[in-house]
Amino acid sequence: MKRFFGTDSPLFRFMTILLELAEINLLFILCSLPVVTMGASYAAMTDSMNEMHVHGEGCFTAKRFFQVFKKSLKPMIPIGSVILVCCIGLGFNVNYVLKTMEGTGRILFCGIYVVLFLILSGIFQYSAFIAAKTEKWNKDDLKNSFLLALAKFPLVILTTLLTASVLSVLMMSVSLMLRMLPLILLFWFSCPAYVCVGLHRRALKPLLPELFSEEEE
């Protein structure tokens, strides 16, 4: 019994992970409320997930979350804002194409817009990852994010679909969203982010080993 409920037991470790995911999820929602700060909030959540992948459960602190959030504001507010505006524009274009075009032209233009959206998604994800892992953002980081979005396009598709599938549930109906509110508040964003960060870590380590140098120390 002591082994089952002890601090080293699988149950205790699992509950610790759930608690940390819930804390991160709540902080992400709170820091994303101004909307323009969502990019910095996502970078802070990315850093928290990195720490969990490296050090396991029990490593999360709200202090570190806010430190990463603060340092990521400068690069991620303009990047996130521009990407948000571009995605809204793409959405209007897709709606226009669906209403006014048919046949091959509709498929072609919708396909182009989807690819552009995925590239923007990749830039956002990798910008947040790099912003979380570096002390000072520079112009080459944005270029690297763009190149990574192209080089790791299949992975970007996977992580974007994972995130979009979660978000799409929220858009189905208000009543469904209200019924799922406890789940949304505690785990809706942090659980997919944990999976996505793990996938990105495996992809980026061989390409940008300098981002992970501190983990080896």
Q: With 70 as the cut, is the pLDDT of residue 6 above it?
A: no
- The predicted pLDDT at position 89 comes to 93
Q: With 80 as the cut, is the pLDDT of residue 172 above it?
A: no
| pLDDT grade for 106, boundaries at 50, 70 and 90 | confident
Task: Give the residue with greater pLDDT, 40 vs 186.
Answer: 40
Tens digits of per-residue pLDDT, 144-163? 999 999 999 999 999 999 98
Side chain identity, residue 174? V
Lowest mean pLDDT among 17-21, 66-70, 122-126: 17-21
Lowest mean pLDDT among 5-14, 30-39, 87-96, 102-111: 5-14
Predicted TM-score of the model (pTM) = 0.89
Domain regions of the chain by residue span = 2-216
Task: Give me the phi and psi of 56, to 5 degrees please.
Answer: 80, -165
